[in-house]
């Protein structure tokens, strides 16, 4: 019996630890986001914002839990809206204002990541 419990425990860790396509996209998005904020030239910032927006669009096509899909898509759309706003500001040589708008994306990220927090070990063992 102990052996079965140990096997179930380790298999649940293995399933949870496998990176999904969405996780890979999120890492790429984070990288482009950081590069956009750090960019000193407006054309470099715009390039990274374009890549960031394209990655967010790809993320919208990923599978989400049914009960959280609408909220997730809403968050991604809000993120795209802010990135587009920052891009317009960057095109108008207002890089500092564009960075301020990009910081709002980080606030959204924190808000919407709470929707997708992985279950605790106790939820995995005993259900929700």
Strands in 75-115 per DSSP E: none
Q: Is residue 104 included in any domain, yes or no?
A: yes
Tell me, yes or no, whether 14 lies in a domain. no
The reply to whether 11 falls in a domain is no
Residue closest to 65 by CA, chosen among 18, 22, 10: 22
Between CA 59 and CA 72 the distance in angstroms is 10
Of 49-53, 58-62, 101-105, the one with minimum mean pLDDT is 58-62
The domain tally of the chain equals 1
Q: What value, to the nearest 5°, has the Cα angle with vertex 4 and ends 20 and 119?
A: 35
Query: For the chain, what is the mean pLDDT?
Result: 82
State residue 10's pLDDT score.
Answer: 47
| Range from 15-19, 28-32, 92-96, 102-106 carrying the lowest mean pLDDT | 15-19
Q: What is the model's pLDDT at position 88?
A: 97
């Amino acid at each position: 019996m102990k052996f079965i419990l140990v096997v179930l425990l380790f298999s649940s860790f293995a399933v949870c630890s496998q990176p999904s396509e969405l996780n890979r996209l999120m890492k790429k998005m984070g990288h482009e986001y950081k590069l956009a904020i750090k960019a000193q030239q407006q054309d470099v910032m715009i390039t990274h914002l374009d890549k960031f927006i394209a990655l967010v669009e790809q993320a919208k096509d990923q599978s989400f839990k049914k009960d959280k899909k609408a909220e997730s898509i809403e968050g991604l759309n809000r993120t795209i809206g802010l990135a587009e706003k920052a891009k317009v500001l960057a095109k108008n040589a207002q890089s500092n204002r564009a960075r301020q708008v990009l910081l709002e994306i980080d606030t959204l990220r924190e808000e919407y990541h709470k929707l997708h927090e992985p279950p605790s070990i106790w939820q995995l063992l005993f259900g929700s």
